[in-house]
């Protein structure tokens, strides 16, 4: 190979690496990706914006699924504006965590109707969305609630919204756009990361696994799965999560049965085989271990 070619190749590789670094250090923003005609996945880049969102636009109106942390309202609005100048008609909350419903109040002030499982409204009525955990923030409340399931027939899509019991919380909704073969899982899936199971707010290990199995049964090789956190997923990614959770459950169940305490189990680091692939900043391998121990008690 001629030297000049080598230099050209090296320069290309170097430039490519530089752009990767630039990408990593770029400012916080919401990226919009069209996953089907007029259906968009919205996700944070350059840092943590909140959970993954989805937007449906069309002649019948605009539907937004989840609305990020309140601190990122302007970033979210910029992303929405890049695909539509129409207001949000319906805002679906997948669950009550602040990184998914942080801008409820802002959108409801602009006329959006908030749709959610009834347990989210119950929690918010007890003040779950306010900083002091007592004050009810009226504008953040869902005005349309459901207990099992409901359907939207808008913009040419059949959007089936259904509750999965005691999974990530006690108020989770999964959204299946049947004709487009797209599923938004809310936080019943963290793609490639140990999941957070909110045991204090009605989440459970078995419910979490069951929710993933329910979603798996709705999926085929072409299904686009938008997880609550992490990159867009497919059926294999979901299967990998179920396998990891079931194996993890089995490992910890045996240790509990042998009489070991939570701290003793943590010391044994029994989930070390999953560390490299699944550990991350919020749910570390140790926190995952404790969460599973607590989830089995
Ligand atoms: Zn969550």
Cα–Cα distance between 267 and 261 in angstroms, integer?
A: 10
Cβ neighbours for 87, distance < 8 A, ≥ 6 positions apart: 62, 110, 111, 112
pLDDT tens column, 128-139 = 766 666 678 888
The C-alpha angle with vertex 141 and arms to 40 and 230, in degrees rounded to 5, equals 35
pLDDT tier, 143 (very low <50, low <70, confident <90, very high otherwise): very high
Give the distance (Å) from ligand 1 centre to CA of residue 168.
Answer: 7
The distance in angstroms from the start CA to the end CA of the chain is 65
pLDDT tier, 237 (very low <50, low <70, confident <90, very high otherwise): very high
DSSP the chain: --HHHHHHHHHHHHHHHHHHHHHHHSPPEEEEEEEETTEEEEEEESS---S-EEEEEETTEEEEE----GGGHHHHHHHHHTT--SPPSEEE-SSS-HHHHTTHHHHHHTTPEEEEEHHHHHHHHTTTTSTTS-S--GGGS-SEEESSEEEEEETTEEEEEEEETTSSSSSEEEEEEGGGTEEE-GGG-BTTSPPP--GGGT--HHHHHHHHHHHHHT--TT-EEE-SBSS-B-HHHHHHHHHHHHHHHHHHHHHHHTT--HHHHHHH-TTHHHHHHH--SSS-HHHHHHHHHHHT-
Name the phi and psi angles at 189, rounded to 5. Answer: -145, 130
pLDDT tens column, 189-219 = 999 999 999 999 999 999 999 999 999 999 9
* CATH code for the domain of 217: 3.60.15.10
Give the distance (Å) from ligand 1 centre to CA of residue 156.
Answer: 29
Cα–Cα distance between 274 and 161 in angstroms, integer?
A: 32
Cα–Cα distance between 169 and 203 in angstroms, integer?
A: 4
Give the distance (Å) from ligand 1 centre to CA of residue 188.
Answer: 8
Give the distance (Å) from ligand 1 centre to CA of residue 123.
Answer: 14
pTM of the model: 0.90
Give the distance (Å) from ligand 1 centre to CA of residue 237.
Answer: 19
Give the distance (Å) from ligand 1 centre to CA of residue 96.
Answer: 7
Which residues are within 5 Å of ligand 1 (an ion), measured at CB? 97, 187
Structure tokens at 107: 């959108």
Cβ neighbours for 70, distance < 8 A, ≥ 6 positions apart: 98, 102, 103, 105, 106
pLDDT of residue 7: 45
Give the distance (Å) from ligand 1 centre to CA of residue 276.
Answer: 23
Give the distance (Å) from ligand 1 centre to CA of residue 189.
Answer: 10
Cα–Cα distance between 185 and 207 in angstroms, integer?
A: 14
Give the distance (Å) from ligand 1 centre to CA of residue 285.
Answer: 18
What's the longest Cα–Cα distance across the chain? 72
Whether pLDDT at 85 is above 90:
yes
Give the distance (Å) from ligand 1 centre to CA of residue 101.
Answer: 10
Whether pLDDT at 25 is above 60:
no
The rounded percent of the chain whose pLDDT value lies above 90 is 86
How many domains are there within the chain? 1
Domain that holds residue 24: 3-295
Give the distance (Å) from ligand 1 centre to CA of residue 95.
Answer: 7
Give the distance (Å) from ligand 1 centre to CA of residue 10.
Answer: 44
Looking at the DSSP assignment, which residues form a beta bridge with residue 152? 159
Whether pLDDT at 4 is above 80:
no
Give the distance (Å) from ligand 1 centre to CA of residue 115.
Answer: 17
Give the distance (Å) from ligand 1 centre to CA of residue 286.
Answer: 19
């Amino acid at each position: 190979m001629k030297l000049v070619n080598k230099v050209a190749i090296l320069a290309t590789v170097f430039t490519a690496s530089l752009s990767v670094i630039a990408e990593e250090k770029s400012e916080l923003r919401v990226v919009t990706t069209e996953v089907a005609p007029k259906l968009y996945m919205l996700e944070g880049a350059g840092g943590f914006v909140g959970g993954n969102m989805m937007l449906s636009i069309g002649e019948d109106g605009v539907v937004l699924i989840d609305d990020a942390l309140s601190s990122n309202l302007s970033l979210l609005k910029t992303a929405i504006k890049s695909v539509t100048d129409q207001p949000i008609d319906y805002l679906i909350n997948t669950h009550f965590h602040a990184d998914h419903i942080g801008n409820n109040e802002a959108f409801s002030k602009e006329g959006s109707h908030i749709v959610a499982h009834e347990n989210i409204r119950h929690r918010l009525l007890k003040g779950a969305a306010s900083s002091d955990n007592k004050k009810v923030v009226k504008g953040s409340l869902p005005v349309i609630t459901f207990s099992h399931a409901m359907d939207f027939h808008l913009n040419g899509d059949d959007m089936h919204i259904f509750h999965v019991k005691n999974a990530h919380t006690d108020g989770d909704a999964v959204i299946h756009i049947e004709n487009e073969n797209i599923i938004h899982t809310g936080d019943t899936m963290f793609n490639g990361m140990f999941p957070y199971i909110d045991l204090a707010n009605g989440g459970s290990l078995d419910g979490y696994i069951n929710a993933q199995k329910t979603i798996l049964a709705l999926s085929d090789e072409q299904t686009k799965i938008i997880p609550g956190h992490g990159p867009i997923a497919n059926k294999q990614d979901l299967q990998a999560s179920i396998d990891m959770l079931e194996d993890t459950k089995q490992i910890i169940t045996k240790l509990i049965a042998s009489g070991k305490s939570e701290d003793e189990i943590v010391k044994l680091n029994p989930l070390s085989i999953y560390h490299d692939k699944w550990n991350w900043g919020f749910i570390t391998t140790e926190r995952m271990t404790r969460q599973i121990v607590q989830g089995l008690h």
